[in-house]
Structure 1
C-alpha cells in the first residue's frame, strides 16, 4: 500500500473499520468460547469487546480533535486524542481484571474442554483479521501522527499475541490433558494486556504534560534551520511540544540590528514556512532579536 493510499485512510475511516472488525471478532471469539467452554477463549473475547468500546471512544475523540481553534481553545482541540489513549488503557486494565476473575476459579477447579478444533479455527481466523487491521492502522497512524489511531492499532496487535497464546495453551491442553493449562494461559494473557494498558496510560499522561517532539521531528527542524545558516543569523532557545497530530516549535532568531523591520520580517516568514513545510502539522513561532541582545529568563522563585 503506497503513501498516497495511506493519506486517504484518515483516522476516522480507520477507526470505523476497527469498530467493524471488533464486531466480527467478538462474534467469532464468543462462538469459539461457547462451543469449547475455554476460559482462555473467553478472555480473548473479552479483550475484543474492549477493542470495540475503545475504537468508538477513539472515533469520538478524533472527531473532537479535528475541530478548528476557537476563542476558548486558541491552540485547537488536538489533545483530545490523548484522552482516547488513556481511556483505552483503562479499558484494557478493566478487561485484564475481568479475565483474572474468570480464570482464577478455573485454575483451582479445571473443567474439560469440548470441540477444540472448531474453537481454535475460529480464534485463528479472528487473529488474522486483527493482525491485518493492526498492520494497516499502524502505518496510517505514522502518516497522520495520530496517537489515538496508534493506541488502537497497538491494542489490536496485543490482541493478536493474546490469541496466539490462547491457541498455544489450548493446543497444550489437547496434547497433555492438563486442564489447568487453560486457566494458566488466561492468567498470562491478563498480565500481558495489563502491561499494555499501563503503557498506553503512561503515553497519554506524557502527551497531556506537553511532551517534546519526537527525535526525528527535532532532527528535521534543525536540518531546516541549517538551510538558513549565515554568519549574521543564528537561532537559539528552541523548544517544542506535541499536541496530538499537531506539533509546536518556538525559537529566537538573531539578526543584525541595522536590518530594516521589513527585511527581518520577510526572513522570519520564510523560516516559518520552511519549517511548517518540512514537518506536517507543525506550527512555528519565531521571535526576532538583534544579534547583540540576549533574552533574560529568571527562574521562578518559590514563595517565602
Structure 2
C-alpha cells in the first residue's frame, strides 16, 4: 500500500512540475508582450512554483524511505521541510515584487498589447486553478504536506492572478497606468501573507502537532469499542508526521489477566485504529489495576 501511495504521490509531484513550467511560460509571455509589472509579479511567483515543486518532489522521495537505525520512526517529516522551503521562497518572491512595484510606481509604464497579454494570463490562471484544486484534494487524501503546500500556493497564485487581471482591465479601460504597480504591490502582500501561513503550518507539523479534535474523538470511540476485557484507558497522546500518525496510551487491566489475554485486547484495538487511520503506529502500555492512578477513556 505504501509503495503504491508513493508512486501515485510521486507522479502527482512530477506532473506539478510540468504544469508549473507550462504556466510559467504562458505568464512570462504575457509579461513580455505587455511590459506590465503586475504580470511580471505573476510570472515571478510562477518561478517560485517551479522551484517549490522540485523541492517537493525531492522531499516526497525522502519521506517514503523506510525506517533505519538512524531514523527508527521513518522519514515522514521530510515533507514539512519542503513546505518550509516553499514558504521562504514565497516570502522572497513577495519582497522582489514589492521592489519592482516601487520602481514602476516612481516611473509609470504604458503597457503594450494589454488585451492579448491578459488573455494569455487568463489561460494560465485557469490551468492553475484546476491543478490547485486537484492538489489540495489529493494532498489531503494522501496526507502529504508537500502536495497540500503546493496546492495552497498555487491557489494563492490563482487569486492574485484574478486580482491582477481585474486591475489591469480597469487600467486599460481608464488609462490609469498607476494601477499596474499598485496591483503588483497588492499581489506581493497577498503572497507574503501566504508564505507566512505555509511556514507556520509546516513548523506546527515539525513540533509534533496532535490530531484535530474530531479525529481525537474518533480515536477514543474506537478504543472504547474494542477494549472489551480491559478496565480503562488513559494518558492518550497522538502526534502527526505528514501522512503518518502515532497513537499511544495506557491500558488498565485486571491483576488476574494473563499477558496473552492482554495482548489479544491490544491487537484488537491496534487493528481497529490502523483500519480507521492508514499508516497509524500504535503503542499501548499495559498496566494492572493496582497501578492505575487516573481515569481515562471508559471501555464499552
The reply to whether residue 151 of structure 1 matches residue 155 of structure 2 is: no
**Contact preservation (8 Å) 1:81, 1:244:** yes
Structure 2 Cα separation of the partners of residues 27 and 278 of structure 1: 43
Structure 2 Cα separation of the partners of residues 229 and 82 of structure 1: 34
Structure 2 Cα separation of the partners of residues 9 and 63 of structure 1: 9
- Of 137-146 and 227-236, more deviation after overlay is shown by 227-236
1:141 is matched with which residue?
139
TM-score for the superposition, normalised by structure 2 = 0.94
The reply to whether residue 264 of structure 1 matches residue 258 of structure 2 is: no
In structure 1, the gaps of 5 or more residues are 1-5, 297-304
How much does 1:295 deviate?
6.0
Structure 1 Cα separation of the partners of residues 6 and 52 of structure 2: 22
Q: 2:61 aligns with which of 63, 70, 78?
A: 63
SS at match of 1:160: helix
How much does 1:12 deviate?
1.2
Structure 2 Cα separation of the partners of residues 16 and 141 of structure 1: 14
SS at match of 2:108: coil
Deviations 1:124-149 (A, max 9, x none): 00011001101111110111011111
Q: 2:35 aligns with which of 34, 37, 44?
A: 37
RMSD: 1.6
Q: 2:87 aligns with which of 78, 86, 89?
A: 89
Structure 2 Cα separation of the partners of residues 33 and 61 of structure 1: 32
**Contact preservation (8 Å) 1:207, 1:244:** yes
Q: 2:233 aligns with which of 232, 235, 241?
A: 235
1:3 is matched with which residue?
none
The reply to whether residue 75 of structure 1 matches residue 73 of structure 2 is: yes
Structure 2 Cα separation of the partners of residues 96 and 142 of structure 1: 27
How much does 1:118 deviate?
0.7
Structure 2 Cα separation of the partners of residues 206 and 50 of structure 1: 23
How much does 1:109 deviate?
1.5
Structure 2 Cα separation of the partners of residues 55 and 65 of structure 1: 15
2:10 is matched with which residue?
12
1:292 is matched with which residue?
290
How much does 1:7 deviate?
6.7
In structure 2, the gaps of 5 or more residues are 295-300
How much does 1:292 deviate?
2.4
How much does 1:218 deviate?
1.4
SS at match of 1:235: strand
TM-score for the superposition, normalised by structure 1 = 0.92
SS at match of 1:46: helix
Over 3 Å counting, the alpha-carbon distance change for 1:81 and 1:133 in structure 2 is: same
1:276 is matched with which residue?
274
Runs of 4+ in 1 over 6 A off after TM superposition: 6-9
How much does 1:293 deviate?
1.2
What pairs with 1:91-110 in structure 2 (closer than 5 Å)? 91-110=89-108
Over 3 Å counting, the alpha-carbon distance change for 1:74 and 1:169 in structure 2 is: same
**Contact preservation (8 Å) 2:227, 2:265:** no
How much does 1:83 deviate?
0.2
2:297 is matched with which residue?
none
Count of residue pairs the alignment pairs up: 291
Structure 2 Cα separation of the partners of residues 222 and 180 of structure 1: 58
Structure 2 Cα separation of the partners of residues 169 and 232 of structure 1: 65
Structure 1 Cα separation of the partners of residues 7 and 37 of structure 2: 36
SS at match of 2:139: helix
